[in-house]
Amino acid sequence: MNPTIIVAGFVVLLALLLYYMYREKAEPAPTEPDVIKVRDYEAQRAAEKPAEALEGQAEEPEAPPEEPQPEPAEPEPEPSEPSPEEPKPEAVADDLESLTGVGEKYRALLRAAGVRSIAMLAGEEPAPLLDRLTEANEAEEIVKRLPRPEDVDDWVQKAKQQSA
């Protein structure tokens, strides 16, 4: 047999093999994410439920819309002065911002955990507060990295100094 024919046949077979291998890679299969967040799953299920409910219902004639009844006018209450015990919402927001060593994201995390002011932070115990911060971050995903226990302890100490 002629070696040129053998080499040519081998090259053709190799070309066909490569063609079939790369053809499969050219058409990527749709991939599903390995991990789905519970919040995303629940949102997806909630979006599917109304569609399923509509499919199951037979078409019913719509009732004519009822005319809205005018509601009796109620007198508006007069704005009352905020009591000195309850700080104004603006003052509470500014209160946490004056705490040194706490960034914007950690202030948002503190608010999500229920700490609204330096006085509230001064009355907290660091370990339970860190647990609440962890729970709040799991629910709302505010920060990528949770504060260290030393940081939370430092915040509480600074809050006690500022509120004294």
pLDDT tens, residue by residue, 101-140: 788 888 889 999 999 888 898 899 999 999 999 999 998 8
Q: Is residue 17 part of a domain?
A: no
Q: Is residue 67 part of a domain?
A: no
- Beta-carbon contacts of 4 under 8 Å, excluding residues fewer than 6 positions away, are none
Q: Is residue 35 part of a domain?
A: no
Q: Is residue 6 part of a domain?
A: no
Expressed as residue numbers, the domain containing 126 is 89-163
CA-to-CA separations, 123 to 23, 95, 105, 127, in angstroms, rounded: 66, 15, 21, 12
Q: Is residue 84 part of a domain?
A: no
Q: Is residue 81 part of a domain?
A: no
pLDDT tens, residue by residue, 57-81: 555 555 555 666 666 555 555 655 5
Q: Is residue 36 part of a domain?
A: no
Q: What is the pTM of this model?
A: 0.44
Total domains in the fold of the chain: 1
Res 6: pLDDT: 92
Q: Is residue 138 part of a domain?
A: yes
Q: Of 132, 140, 81, which Cα lies nearest the Cα of 110?
A: 132
pLDDT averaged over every residue in the chain: 76
Show the tokens assigned to 48: 């599917």
Show the tokens assigned to 12: 């053709």
Residue 21 C-beta-side C-alpha neighbours within 13 Å: 6
